[in-house]
Structure 1
Amino acid sequence: MTDYLLQMSVPLSLLLIALLLAQQYLLKPLGARTLYALWAAVPLLLLCASITSLLPQVVEAGAIKRYQVGIQQLTAAAGNINWLFWLWLAGVMLCSSFLLLSYISGRAQFNRAAPLSGTNTPAYCRQADSSSGPYITGLITPRIILPHDFFTRFDATQQRLILQHELTHWRRGDLHLNYLALVLVSLFWFNPLVWLAYRQYRNAQELACDALVTKNASKAERIAYGYALLSSTQQSSANWWPLTHHYGDFNTMKQRITQLQRQQGISKTVVLGAMALVIAATLLLQQPVMAGVSKTQQLAAVMRIEPRYPLQAAEQGISGYVQIKFDVDAQGKVINASVVKSSPEQVFDKEALRALTQWQYTATGKLHLAQMVQLDFELDTVQADIERVSVTPAAKKG
């Protein structure tokens, strides 16, 4: 897993840099809705790369490798624990815990909020006893929390536009897209560009939502909406959680109010062209990258389970060997293992197969066919640093 994530960090970082630059310099000519749609290139890149890496790529077998059954192999396997994996997993668990805490906190805050009075008031709207909100959260059903002074701070036009803004997030699926984005942030937590990109992605999301809400609004409504945005910046940042939608800080709000003066639709040509470029680049570059990885990262056993010496064979002083043919899949797992030759027959076969099927090889992203190993069962253990060469009689000439 860590190998895949590290491998994908380079193309992902390049794409994020491109999106960040576009967010900085192309907002005015392209518009907020188009730039927000371009962020779909991130999951598209990862999806295409994953599909490409799973395509069958076959590597033929090399020379037979020999391993002696002894305590040396077991000790060496214990030292191959990938500490990078555990470090990455600890970061993922930390991010996941924070997200779970955010979800629980959002539900608790909604449950504490007071339902709005009036028969025409939707049940998913509640009013907090503090300045928290307005924001929307939820997983299956929307939950909108309004500040305690919502009906006194905003006039009727502002109230309508604010509620429309929050519901637009829900109808477009922004909250669920944020869940996906946070999963990617958790997986790539070690990449600082991912955190910066997530913040800019959320800003782009708010700008696009503003553009959609005020698409058919009059000039007076846009001005009223702008004043509502300014008023919402007074909300304390201490109430921010990653699973909620907030209106943003003052610097973000300045950009949002500026964008209210421009009304631009979404450019399908730009979005589809960018998606096609990402797919083409992934298909063209991923295969050479995978080939390069396979050349530099040779197939090797990174974890070996040592076979147990059969008790009956040890008591009788029997030694021997087992030659096994097998395949290694793209993730480095042993498959299709079978005994080719053994001596004595059927003495060590079962134990050799049991151990070998648990071996783990380097994940090269390719299918390696017809690999061969020989497990030598020796009562007298030979030192691991001594090279062993088998000498067999030459075939007689006819």
Structure 2
Amino acid sequence: MPGVLTYVTLGLALVLAWRKPARRMFGAGPAFTLWLLPPLLTMLPWLPTLPATWATTPTLLVLPATAAFGALSMSAASPLRWPLLLWLIGTLACLLRLTMHYERLLRQSHQLPADMLCVLQADLGDLDPRRLWLHPAGPAVLWAPQSRVLLPADFLDRFDADERRLVLQHESMHLRRGDALWSLLAELAAALLWFHPLAWFALPRLRLDQELACDERVLHQSPQDTARYARTLLHSTGQNTAPALIPWLAEPQLKERLSMIQHRRPGILRRQIGFVCLTAIMAGSVFFAQATTPPAPDQQATADVGYNTQFQPRYPADAVKNRQEGTVVLSVLVGTDGTPRKIEAERGSNAAPSLIAAASEAAAQWRFSPGTKGGKPVESHARVPVKFSLDPLPPAPPHASPNS
């Protein structure tokens, strides 16, 4: 996960830095496409959870004053076990919350009354009447297998005829743009990144950019409605943002949306240039990430266990005296000849300095089978967990007698 998080963080930081300049230069629509950058970086096949050139050997057990030097199960001492479990619990909790909120919205939705639908029929345009549902949280779009437009029961009283037309035009534009699906993907990404503060900082800004892009599209189609559109927003009641829902107006968005409406919007040519330029920027970022990531070998580096047992780590006497235990995770850069070129202890190693020194000293004499690329040996990495324990080895199971 460290490698993936690095690129997710980089992608979010770049979007947050570029979104406003891109909006001023090219418009809200092209600027919204920048939000594709974080998932593009995340889904690159050459960016796995751990660097592709790193292989983890079984854990090596070191006991005091003995020749014991054995391999334990890698999963038993994996430094990633508890963080991954904590991440999984948090993700499941976020997904459960999202599912419960979505199910409650569906349960509280009702079909639009026939008399209300009759009044709105002239303002629907190409909007399918079956997409219209009643819900107190409306006007809003609810993502679903077939996205719904939610309207409040007092929709006819709250908005006049022109305002109703503009609200329905806005919500219909959300459906045509596929914003309901993008909102779902954003909510799922936030659930996966629940521990990442930048993800929660970015989510409301993605929602704002989505609304600005939708407003811009509506006003490009109906420039004569600019002033009326602004008045409709001013007369609307803001709602709190909620999972699974795209409200007509969220509380913090009014100022930004009115500012975009009042300023002159880029023309079609400038917007098209913006799409091309921003696509090129994102492609360049992806190619740069690919170029700076070492190529994965066809075969990973592996330890020569038979040879390495001749150079087992020695349990330092002072560590035995002070009752010091712990696991040292060594990161070994393996040369093309199989010898260690560089040895470092990972930051997660929970061991005393003397134990780290003992493990590193022994590792300097070890041998590995280097990774290969195209059948040729290449420099590669190996992770070697070394566990220093003061507890004796468990007794060997008794051998069954021939007569049993």
Q: Same fold (TM over 0.5)?
A: yes
How many Å apart are 1:61 and its aligned residue?
12
Distance 2:201 2:134 in 1: 32
Q: 2:265 maps to which residue? A: 263
Distance 2:91 2:55 in 1: 37
Distance 1:300 1:248 in 2: 64
Deviations 1:345-373 (A, max 9, x none): xxxxxxxxxxxxxxxxxxxxx88999xxx
Distance 1:115 1:285 in 2: 60
What is the 5 A alignment of 1:238-253?
240-253=241-254
Q: CA RMSD in A?
A: 4.0
Does residue 18 (structure 1) correspond to residue 3 (structure 2)? The answer is no
Does residue 88 (structure 1) correspond to residue 87 (structure 2)? The answer is yes
Deviations 1:291-343 (A, max 9, x none): 9xx99xx9799xxxxxxxxxxxxxxxxxxxxxxxxxxxxxxxxxxxxxxxxxx
2:234 aligned to which of 205, 218, 230 = 230
Asked whether the 8 Å contact 2:183–2:244 carries over to 1, the reply is yes
Q: Which runs of 5+ in 2 are unaligned?
A: 63-67, 306-370, 378-390, 395-404
1:147 aligned to which of 147, 152, 158 = 152
How many Å apart are 1:162 and its aligned residue?
1.0
Q: Which amino acid in 1 is paired with 2:178?
A: G
Distance 1:27 1:251 in 2: 18
How many Å apart are 1:108 and its aligned residue?
1.4
Distance 1:152 1:300 in 2: 79
Which TM-score applies when normalising by structure 1?
0.62
What is the 5 A alignment of 1:164-175?
164-175=169-180
Q: Which amino acid in 2 is paired with 1:36?
A: F
1:36 aligned to which of 18, 32, 37 = 32
* 2:293 alignment partner, SS class: helix
Asked whether the 8 Å contact 1:58–1:367 carries over to 2, the reply is no
Q: 1:185 maps to which residue? A: 190
How many Å apart are 1:33 and its aligned residue?
0.7
How many Å apart are 1:115 and its aligned residue?
5.8
How many Å apart are 1:211 and its aligned residue?
0.2
Q: 1:202 maps to which residue? A: 207
Q: Which amino acid in 1 is paired with 2:257?
A: R
Asked whether the 8 Å contact 1:113–1:145 carries over to 2, the reply is no
* 2:145 alignment partner, SS class: coil
Does residue 47 (structure 1) correspond to residue 43 (structure 2)? The answer is yes
Which TM-score applies when normalising by structure 2?
0.61
Asked whether the 8 Å contact 1:110–1:143 carries over to 2, the reply is no
Q: Which amino acid in 2 is paired with 1:117?
A: M
Asked whether the 8 Å contact 2:40–2:286 carries over to 1, the reply is yes
Calculate percent identity across the aligned residue pairs.
Answer: 26
Asked whether the 8 Å contact 1:115–1:123 carries over to 2, the reply is no
How many Å apart are 1:52 and its aligned residue?
5.0
* 1:245 alignment partner, SS class: strand
How many Å apart are 1:263 and its aligned residue?
2.3
CA 1:78–1:21 in structure 2 vs 1: closer, same or farther (change >3 Å)? Answer: closer
Q: Which amino acid in 1 is paired with 2:233?
A: L
Does residue 27 (structure 1) correspond to residue 23 (structure 2)? The answer is yes
Asked whether the 8 Å contact 1:158–1:225 carries over to 2, the reply is yes
Distance 2:207 2:265 in 1: 20
Q: Which amino acid in 2 is paired with 1:135?
A: A
How many Å apart are 1:76 and its aligned residue?
8.5
Q: Which amino acid in 2 is paired with 1:123?
A: R
Distance 2:115 2:372 in 1: 61
Asked whether the 8 Å contact 1:16–1:193 carries over to 2, the reply is yes
Distance 2:292 2:74 in 1: 36
What is the 5 A alignment of 1:273-284?
273-284=280-291
Distance 1:194 1:299 in 2: 39
Deviations 1:375-395 (A, max 9, x none): xxxxxxx9659xxxxxxxxxx
* Residues paired across the two proteins, number: 290
* 2:247 alignment partner, SS class: coil
* 1:287 alignment partner, SS class: coil
Q: Which amino acid in 2 is paired with 1:30?
A: F
Distance 1:17 1:230 in 2: 32
How many Å apart are 1:30 and its aligned residue?
2.4
Asked whether the 8 Å contact 1:52–1:287 carries over to 2, the reply is no
Q: Which amino acid in 1 is paired with 2:17?
A: L
